[in-house]
Structure 1
């Protein structure tokens, strides 16, 4: 169940969840101001997310937060790439994350640096789906 902040209209997994209260952007606004390397990488991930019925993509200034009952993935703009962070209930070694897996309790955060659409493999999209399914609430 999602809670919507009455001030900024953003949705969260917990009532009155702490956040920077500023309105999100539309996806069109976000992509219009994105650096040139970002839209070609983000669009295939967005197309995949569109197949997941309860996935909510929230554009904010730092990137795209992907939520179901909580944030299960993020696409963060970097200087030369887009960092895809996926929250999973297990540690994954394949595809190999680009950064050390960060574990917090039973959640494991895997980061993949996407420079071109070719970096987005079916196995990586399967991990996004797995994270979505694990976040069913």
Structure 2
């Protein structure tokens, strides 16, 4: 792990390109949003298979272990998110799937209620968590 000497963030690769700025307040992302949006995010956190670092960045909330494996953008009435998986996964719930590299496939989705954080979403988070730990490269 490499820690940026300027912002203090940790990365899997030394001198990794990033937006170097201090992290913000998590609650700021939920100001002016329906309370259900925070409930959805909390349900996501509850579905994670292990501990994470929550990075409250300027435009998103990233979930990070060895690398960031998921990110969320609170909207007024819903939560937009994505997970990084090691391979393409098919689900009608994905709004978009983009391949960035052989083992980094980003799957985008939208959650409107906490009950949508179900077994399927928990599976995505578990798979993405493994990518964040680097398990897919071993």
Alignment-derived partner of residue 73 in structure 1? 70
State the alpha-carbon separation in 2 of the partners of residues 80 and 135 from structure 1.
28
Cα-to-partner distance string for 1:47-80 (whole Å, 9 max, x where unaligned): 233x413x22211121211112211111122343
State the alpha-carbon separation in 2 of the partners of residues 73 and 134 from structure 1.
10
Partner of 1:101, secondary structure, is: strand
TM-score normalised by length of structure 1: 0.82
State the alpha-carbon separation in 2 of the partners of residues 19 and 34 from structure 1.
28
- Cα distance, 1:100–1:73 mapped onto 2, change above 3 Å: same
Contact 1:97 1:110 in 2 (8 A): no
Tell me the CA shift for residue 45 of structure 1: 0.9
Partner of 2:39, secondary structure, is: helix
Q: RMSD of the TM alignment (CA)?
A: 2.1
Alignment-derived partner of residue 5 in structure 1? 4
Contact 2:33 2:75 in 1 (8 A): no
Please state if 1:39 is matched with 2:38.
Answer: yes
- Cα distance, 1:20–1:87 mapped onto 2, change above 3 Å: same
State the alpha-carbon separation in 2 of the partners of residues 130 and 43 from structure 1.
19
Q: Which of 95, 100, 110 matches 1:99?
A: 95
State the alpha-carbon separation in 2 of the partners of residues 31 and 110 from structure 1.
22
Tell me the CA shift for residue 24 of structure 1: 0.5
Unpaired runs of 5+ residues, structure 2, are: none
Unpaired runs of 5+ residues, structure 1, are: none
TM-score normalised by length of structure 2: 0.81
